[in-house]
Each structure stands twice: as structure tokens, then as C-alpha cells.
Amino acid sequence: MSDALPTPRPDLTGFAPYRTQQMDAEVRLQANEWAEPNAAARYVTDDELEGVLLNRYPGAAAELRAALASRYGVDPAQIVLGNGSNEVLLYSFLLFGGHDRKTLLFQPTYSMHGRLTQTAGGTVIDERIGLPYAVSVERAVASVERHRPEIVVICSPNNPTGTLIGEDVVLAVARAAPRSLVLVDEAYADFAGFTVIPRIREHPNIVVARTFSKARAAAGLRLGMVIADARVAAMYRAVQLPYNVSALTYTVAAKIAADEGAVRRRVELCRTERTKVLAALRRVPAVEAFDSVTNFVLFRLRQGSTEDVHRRFLEQSVLVRDISSWPGCEGCLRVSIGTPAENDRFSTALGRVFPSSPGDFNAGPSRPRIPAPPSTPGRARA
């Protein structure tokens, strides 16, 4: 038997899988999921399940599209559904990116944007914003004019920093690059009360990505969408995989989409608990915690090793995310907002991971402050 293997594209040789550090822990605060259990049985009865015929391909999801169109004030034809928001994001890079086409990212930001750009054969341009994270109109437009990208990705609120990029920035970029796709990833927008969806009407190069995985507490459902000008949405459908979302998903999602009261409750609970988590972090001299409008908080070590701190949290059976390998996130970790009890566990663990006397915490040499490098093309990091 031959040991020969097929050869991937050179730029994907050695490409590592996306991982979210899935270690065993009683308190899991690494993946920005909604922490309270949300069972599918809450939404569909046995009789409704009887009506889901698995021998037939899924239909047009009319009930779900109608609920979403009403929620966002758009026509159902403007909504393109996918198996998680990452699938519809991938369609964006396949359709508007690819060989000899550039994607502009404002780093640090969600690592999948760079990975999907590369998967589609495109080139990543990193505009290093650094921390604290603030993207100005002037900086964004200057970067667009300098690089002339085919795709500009604006993640607002931004992951991993938890901060907003304002509507003024989105609109300025849309005007500066009218023939480019301005992809606004609003995965965490419910927590911030933010959206640029109404602006699509006058700027048809804006496409907004949304997900059921965060404030709708349905990460396991795997449902996302892009909302676009109807003409642009038709372009997505031309490359979309047929029957890419299951009939079961459509059935459950239609019920979740109609439950706006649950979203409002989660947003308010998140606001209260985020305040507590930020306060706990800011009582620790060894870390710098950044403001957030999302269901997670970014914090940076003033000294020491993120690997060692991550291990110390695990010793307390608390799992957070080490994101020190992300561009511009040297020395950083991220913690998701959990249930009130989980957030209390995190606060208690902080006192054990970072002893009260700064001199007691000796996780390694001081971390040098690294200035943000100039904008350079490069590959995304997971």
C-alpha cells in the first residue's frame, strides 16, 4: 500500500484546526457561550416533532425567516441562513475574496476571519490597533485607502476586546470602498444594543452577520445568518450549499427567534454579572482589565506567563481562554460571563491564582510592553 498522500495548497500546508482549549473543568468560561442550560425541549413539543419529516429535505424555513425579518426590520429575501455564522462568513470570503484578493482586519479580532480568508485563498491584511482597542474613522479610512481591500471586516462589538467599533466607522468605510464588501460581524451586538442593519438600505455593500450562539443561548443549534441587500443576498444563495440547515434546526430556531423576552433577560443579567466580574478583576493589581459591552472580559497580565496563569485557574477547576497567541494580545486571557454562581467561582479563583501581595505571584519574568507594529499582511492565528 502506498504512503503517498494528496497535496494541499501550499498556503494550507500545516494549517492547524481551530480549537477553544477544551479541558475538563467544573466552570467553563472559555468559549463565550451562554452558560445557563437551554434545552431544546423548552421549544418543541412531541406533536411538533412528529411534524418534522426526516425523509424529506428541509423546506424554505418560512416561519423562521418571517420572525427574523420582523425582528430586524428587513425583507425575508435579505436573510441568508447557515450552519452556524462561520458558514455564512465562509461564503463571504469565497464569494468576494479568494486568489489575489485582500481582506482587511483590525487586530486583535476574531481569529476565524483570518482563517476563513486563508481557507478561501485570499490574503489577510492586518491593521494592528492594539490595546486598548479603539478604531477611529481616520485610522479605518486611511487603512482602506492604503490597501484597497476587496473585503473589510468590522467586528462590533469586537472579539476578544469586548469593545464597539462605532456606526460612524462602518459608514465611513462603506463610503470609502463602495465596491468592497464591508462585512460587519455582530455576533455580540445584542449585548450592546448595537446594529448597522438599518444602514444596509443606503449602503448595499454592507453585510451584517448574526448568530444564535450568544444572546439566544443556542450555540449547540448551529445557526447563523447574514443580512444583506436583497441583490447581494442572491449572490450568497448562488454559492450556498443546498439544504445546508436541518429541518430540526429550523423548527427549534423559529421558536427561539420569537422569544425576544428571553434575549432581553439575558442581556440584563449579563450586564449585572459583567460589572461584578470587572470589579473582581480590577481588585487584582497583577492584571489590567479592559471595559466590555459583551458577555466576556479581556484582561492582560502586568507580568508573568499566561500559560502558568491558565494552569493555575485550571487547578481551581475554572477554564478561561489563553489568547496570548492572537495578534496584539500578548499577555492576555479572556473570561466569559457565566452564571452568577460560576462568576463567584471565578472571583474566588482570582484570589488564589493571584495572591494578594504582588510579590507572592512569581509566574515568570515581567512581560515587556510590545508596541503595535505597522500594518502588515499575514496569516490569521487561531
Is 90 exceeded by the pLDDT of residue 366?
no
- Residue 21 has a pLDDT of 67
Q: Burial of 225 by CB count in 10 Å (0-12 exposed, 13-18 middle, 19+ buried)?
A: buried
In whole angstroms, give the CA distance from residue 116 to residue 209: 14
> Average pLDDT over the chain, rounded to whole?
92
Does residue 369 sit within a domain? no
Amino acid at 74: V
Residues 193, 280 share a domain: no
Residues 279, 211 share a domain: no
In the chain, the DSSP E strands lie at 27-28, 79-82, 102-107, 123-128, 151-155, 181-185, 206-211, 224-227, 287-289, 296-301, 318-319, 321-322, 332-336, 376-377
- Residue 22 has a pLDDT of 74
Distances in Å between the Cα of 234 and the Cα atoms of 76, 79, 303, 312, 365 are 12, 10, 51, 50, 54
Residues 334, 214 share a domain: no
CATH, residue 307: 3.90.1150.10
Report the predicted TM-score, pTM, of the whole model to 2 decimal places.
0.91
In whole angstroms, give the CA distance from residue 289 to residue 26: 24
Residues 174, 316 share a domain: no
Alpha helices in 120-246 (DSSP H): 137-147, 167-176, 189-192, 230-239
Does residue 382 sit within a domain? no
- Final residue before a domain boundary, out of 207, 226, 258: 258
- Side-by-side strand order, sheet with 151-155: 79-82, 224-227, 206-211, 181-185, 151-155, 102-107, 123-128, 376-377
Is the distance from CB of 281 to CB of 321 less than 8 angstroms?
no
The b-or-e profile of 240-249 (16+ CB within 10 A means b, else e) is beeeebbbeb
Please tell me the total count of domains within the chain: 2
Residues 6+ apart with CB under 8 A from 148: 102, 177
Convert the pLDDT of each residue in 185-238 to its tens digit.
Answer: 999 999 999 999 999 999 999 999 999 999 999 999 999 999 999 999 999 999
Residues 6+ apart with CB under 8 A from 91: 80, 82, 226, 236, 239, 240
Residues 196, 106 share a domain: yes
Residues 278, 253 share a domain: no
Convert the pLDDT of each residue in 319-341 to its tens digit.
Answer: 999 999 999 999 999 999 999 99
Residues 277, 165 share a domain: no
Confidence of residue 375 (pLDDT cuts 50, 70, 90): very low
Is the distance from CB of 149 to CB of 377 less than 8 angstroms?
no
Convert the pLDDT of each residue in 121-172 to its tens digit.
Answer: 999 999 999 999 999 999 999 999 999 999 999 999 999 999 999 999 999 9
What cell does 245 get? 440547515
How many residues are present in the chain?
Answer: 382
Residues 193, 268 share a domain: no
The per-residue DSSP string of 317-367 comes to TEE-EE-TTSTT-TTEEEEE---HHHHHHHHHHHHHHS-SSGGG--SSSPP
Cis peptide before 157 (omega within 30 of 0): yes
Does residue 374 sit within a domain? no
Confidence of residue 367 (pLDDT cuts 50, 70, 90): very low
Residues 294, 213 share a domain: no
**Cell 502586568 found at:** 302
- Final residue before a domain boundary, out of 237, 258, 279: 258
Residues 163, 19 share a domain: no
Residues 90, 76 share a domain: yes
What cell does 287 get? 492584571
Distances in Å between the Cα of 21 and the Cα atoms of 188, 207, 250 are 21, 30, 30
Does residue 14 sit within a domain? yes
Does residue 1 sit within a domain? no
Does residue 2 sit within a domain? no
Residues 115, 135 share a domain: yes
Does residue 274 sit within a domain? yes
φ/ψ (deg, to 5) at 251: -65, -50
Dihedral angle, C-alpha 6, 11, 17, 19, nearest 10 °:
180
Output the CA angle 51-54-60, nearest 5 degrees. 75
- Structural domain for 315, as ranges: 10-37+261-360
Does residue 4 sit within a domain? no
CATH, residue 162: 3.40.640.10
